[in-house]
Amino acid sequence: MDIEEFAVDIVEEEEEEVEGDEDVKLAEIYKLASKLVRILEELKSYELKEAASLMLIKEIVGEDRILVGLATKMLQDMNFGFDEDEKYVS
């Protein structure tokens, strides 16, 4: 089983409609994102971590030009260490 088949199996298991207002949906997003990050941190292979991270970014960003710009800016800030400066605002 390759990684894409594995991912599809996981998504199909977890696929459920989130009912409620925006706060409930935001809480569910946070819960799932935290779980994904925790699983990602458990990966031993740096290459797998990198691939999984890029897949997540691509899945979240999709075709949304604004999100592409924000993700690009965020990654640049992290790359240059600006995210560690409390006074820096992108």
pLDDT digits (tens, 9 = 90+) for 33-67: 899 889 988 989 999 998 988 888 899 899 999 99
- Write the DSSP string, the chain: --HHHHHHHHHHHH-----S-HHHHHHHHHHHHHHHHHHHHH---HHHHHHHHHHHHHHHHTT-HHHHHHHHHHHHHHHTTGGG-TT---
How far is it, in rounded angstroms, from Cα 69 to Cα 7?
Answer: 26
Q: How far apart are CA 75 and CA 59, in angstroms?
A: 16
Which tens digit of pLDDT belongs to each residue from 13-33?
566 677 788 888 889 889 988
